[in-house]
Amino acid sequence: MPELWYLNGSYVSKEEAKVSVLDRGFLFGDGLYEVVRVYDNEPFCLKEHLDRFFFGVKGIGLPLPYTREEFEGIIRKVIADSNLGWASVYWEVTRGTYDPRTHYITPSMTKPNVFIQTKAVGPQPEERRQNGVGVYLYPDVRWLKCCYKTVNLLPNCMASTYAHDRGGFEAVMYRDQDHVTEGASSSFFIVKNGEVWTHPEGDLILSGITRGEVKKLCEKNGIPFKEKIFGVRDALEADEAFTSGTVVEVNPVVRIDDHTVGSGKPGPVTKKIVDLYLKHTGQR
């Protein structure tokens, strides 16, 4: 059951998985990526991840020498060959390696670098679900096309580092005091009077796959769900809050900066959503 490294059509060792310093992903962040959770060797929501990936492919004009069906076949084969059971699969496609280095993109840039990696990932810590996590607020200084899952992640890394250095689980970003967007590597939700609120889809957030599954679970189980813009004060005064992400799944938030959220413990709506999600992924 090996963790596999796939690069441009071949399995390679970790040490052999290299691209040129002229790769446009390395030089410009000119590329896209996805991370898919795998349960019992079956990729969870692969269709939705592929939908988002190919939305980005079209959006930034990324060359890809495969049809969607062919690319999905490659991903599924890597997962099957790895045979890790519970895992994550990461793929990244950059525009490729070209000399000379130019800012502009030319029609001749047609040979992308395609990298896929599998990694063993077990169940998430139950302690997080039982006790909740703390997050820290951080200004959202990203560009205006966050809907594309590009490898341009420096602002996210800065936000995440800020939270991590203070003992936080995640950073929650805001454009201004009246506009909270999302987590540095997650979607962010608050609960007000039994209603779940999260930022509307659009250019300013990534359309989170787990976010979409949470929305469907709420709608299916009678939990009011609203996509609306809310502010920092709304978050601080929320009854409950939680984050969602592909690998980390759904996590109650009990503290924002030094402010206690609600009772300081995971609330009933969040706990219900966590339970529904664990059942949805076959963990309960």
- Band the pLDDT of 208: cuts 50, 70, 90: very high
Length of the chain: 284
Q: What is the pLDDT of residue 32?
A: 98
Q: How far is CA 20 from the centre of its chain?
A: 27
AA letter at 143: W
Tokens of 271: 């706990």
Contact assessment for residue 236 and residue 135, using Cβ atoms and an 8 Å cutoff: no
For CATH 3.30.470.10, the residue range(s) in the chain are 5-120
Q: What is the pLDDT of residue 52?
A: 98
Active site residues: 149
In the predicted model, is pLDDT for residue 186 greater than 80?
Answer: yes
Q: How confident is the model at residue 19 (pLDDT cuts 50, 70, 90)?
A: very high
For 153-160, the CB contacts below 8 A with 24+ separation are: 153/29, 156/184, 156/185, 157/184, 159/184, 160/184, 160/185
Confidence of residue 16 (pLDDT cuts 50, 70, 90): very high
Please state, in angstroms and rounded to a whole number, the distance separating the CA atoms of residues 192 and 10. 50
Residue 249 has pLDDT above 90, yes or no: yes
Backbone angles phi, psi at 92, to 5 degrees: -140, 135
Would the pLDDT of 209 be above 80?
yes
Paired with 138 in beta bridges are 173
pLDDT in tens, 156-171: 999 999 999 999 999 9
The Cα–Cα gap between 84 and 247 comes to: 15
Question: What is the model's pLDDT at position 123?
Answer: 95
Give the pLDDT of residue 221. 98
* Contact status, residue 118 vs residue 87, Cβ threshold 8 Å: yes
Q: What is the CA radius of gyration of the chain?
A: 19
Domain 5-120 class, CATH top level: alpha beta
pLDDT digits (tens, 9 = 90+) for 92-140: 999 999 999 999 999 999 999 999 999 999 999 999 999 999 999 999 9
| Matching residue, tokens 């030319």 | 106
Query: What average pLDDT does the chain have?
Result: 97
What is the location of CATH 3.20.10.10 in the chain? 126-280
What does the pLDDT read at residue 132? 98
Question: Does residue 5 surpass a pLDDT of 80?
Answer: yes
- CATH assignment of 126-280? 3.20.10.10
Distance of CA 165 to the CA centre of its chain: 21
Q: Which residue has the tokens 């990534």?
A: 206
Based on the number of CB atoms within 10 Å of its own CB, is 104 exposed (0-12), middle (13-18) or buried (19 or more)? exposed
Could you give the CA distance from residue 211 to residue 189 in angstroms, rounded to a whole number? 9
